[in-house]
Homo-oligomer: A and B are copies of this chain.
Amino acid sequence: MAKRILIIGLGLLGGSLGLALQEAGAGEVHGLDADPAAMAEALALGLVQGPPPASGPPYDVIVLAMPPGAAGAVAASLGDRLGPHTLLTDVCSVKASVIQGVRGALGPIPGFLPAHPMAGSHLQGPQAARTDLFRSCRVLLTPLPETSPAALDAGRALWEGLGATTHAMEPRDHDHTLALLSHLPHLLAYTLALEARNSQADAALAGPAFGDMTRLALCPPDLWADILLENRAAVLDRLGTYRASLDELASLLAAGDRPGLEARLSAARTWKNREAR
């Protein structure tokens, strides 16, 4: 386990990482949050051992754990906390924009390994942090042409040391796949909640299905506006094909085409049953 670690952003993901690293026996786990109240709360909860000291040797690992649109500016502010052997990584849901931000701030550096742990919940902030958030979690790594083998090894060791499994892929594939598997589902859930609000539906009449399909609307709007905007091309592309499928089902429904409708629902169910948890 790495010796000296700095986590920037102490919400659900950054805070959970601080707890998990301390439990796993990391030497020093420091942290920062741009929001003074969150910083005080994270310290009170012991998510990290303290803020970074004014001076000291470079960190072994620095983790960017803020919304993706802010990663570049934070990277630019690291100064000599970032050394030639520091692993610089992140936990953001979008990779291309984080890579662009970090490269814009620091140029292509061998220590940078973008990462995305597939963990989370609609809960947010330091008080949502959990020691076991990354246990059995899959972490997507998107090594760059400039990423050194040492940084890739250090990134794998960091996550696997917390009980996660790692999976390497291209940043572009990551963003296009996640647009479908995560970003579009969030957009659909927000839209359903918005629709219920606009029509003044009596939510007390809803059953568990509606609760499941709107739970993601509890996610932080500032974070999710940022994620959707930072990956907008891929999200709009996925939304286009989703709408085409929805339109097809609507046409079958309008036409009263029971065999056609049931065939589509069956295909969806077969896929879900076989492929998806």
Contacts and interface: CB of A to CB of B under 8 A. Distances in A.
Contacts of A1: none
Given A119-B207, A211-B276, A253-B228, A181 B194 contact: no
Interface string A69-111: 0000000000000000000000000000000000000000000
A113 to B, nearest CB: 18
A237 to B, nearest CB: 10
Given A232-B254, A243-B243, A261-B229, A268 B217 contact: yes
A239 interface: yes
A140 interface: yes
A236 B253 contact: yes
Q: Give the one of A178, A211, A221 with max B CB within 10 A.
A: A221
A138 interface: yes
Nearest to A220: B269
Contacts of A232: 253-254, 256
Interface in A238-277: 238-239, 241-243, 245-246, 249-250, 253-254, 256, 258, 261-262, 264-269, 271-273, 275-277
Interface of A: 118-121, 138, 140, 167, 177-178, 180-182, 184-199, 201-222, 224-226, 228-229, 232, 235-236, 238-239, 241-243, 245-246, 249-250, 253-254, 256, 258, 261-262, 264-269, 271-273, 275-277
